[in-house]
Amino acid sequence: MNLKTISNHPIWSGLVVAGLCSFAGTVTGLIDWAEAWNIVVMGWRYLTDSSTVANWLIALVGLYIIFTFILFLRNLPERVSEVSWLSYRTDKFFGVQWRWRYIDYRVSNLNPFCPSCDLQLDPVQDSMFHAIDSITLHCDCGAGPWRYDKSWDKLNHDVTKRIQQKIRAGSWQADPGNS
């Protein structure tokens, strides 16, 4: 169960809130509030009392810190909300819709789907001779059949190569589903 699932689940999120409230109650019960207020007052007195350091030096150091902080914020890299190629998980090749996942940045779990009804298609060996590779993809809705004069492994390899080509060329964003 991941964090996103827990945060959307009503029971788990309630348990998390109850745990945080219990923790906060315990911590606030351990704090001596009179002592905490004394620390705040002493800190304020320290900051407002006169000192042996020249006020212009304190102001100069303060300006330097503010200027450095502004430069730091301006030089932070901007977050670009680009869509990653890892979100490219479906496309149409050889007349059929294909879907896949990535495992270790490699195409995995490649599956064909009917372009008409979106039912997953299963390959059927179509050749009467074992030495001749030929497969057909049939759909229960009557669309197809899609016949390929190659083995199932070769078809998967060819689709994977086309996916990789689109990723390299960057065309997976421009024309999804057109191949």
Instruction: Say which residue, 59 or 22, is predicted with more confidence.
Output: 22
At residue 3, the pLDDT reads 60
Structure tokens at 65: 């810190």
What are the strands of the beta sheet with 106-113, ordered from one edge? 90-93, 96-103, 106-113
Mean pLDDT of the chain: 82
Query: What is the percent of the chain where pLDDT is above 90?
Result: 21
Contact 177, 92 (CB under 8 A): yes
Residues 27-82 have pLDDT tens digits of 888 888 889 899 988 878 877 777 777 767 777 888 999 999 998 888 877 665 56
Whether residue 146 contacts residue 93, with contact meaning beta carbons closer than 8 Å, is answered with: no
Give the pLDDT confidence score for residue 178 in this predicted structure.
44
Q: Which residues have a Cβ under 8 Å from the Cβ of 137 and sit 6 or more positions away?
A: 96, 112, 121, 122, 123, 124, 144, 145, 146, 148
The most confident of the ranges 58-67, 120-129, 142-151, 158-167 is 158-167
| The amino acid at 125 | Q
**pLDDT recorded at residue 65:** 94
pLDDT over 50 at 179, yes or no: no
| Residue 80, pLDDT score | 59
Distance from C-alpha of 55 to C-alpha of 60, rounded to nearest angstrom: 9
Most confident of 4-8, 20-24, 44-48, 102-106: 102-106
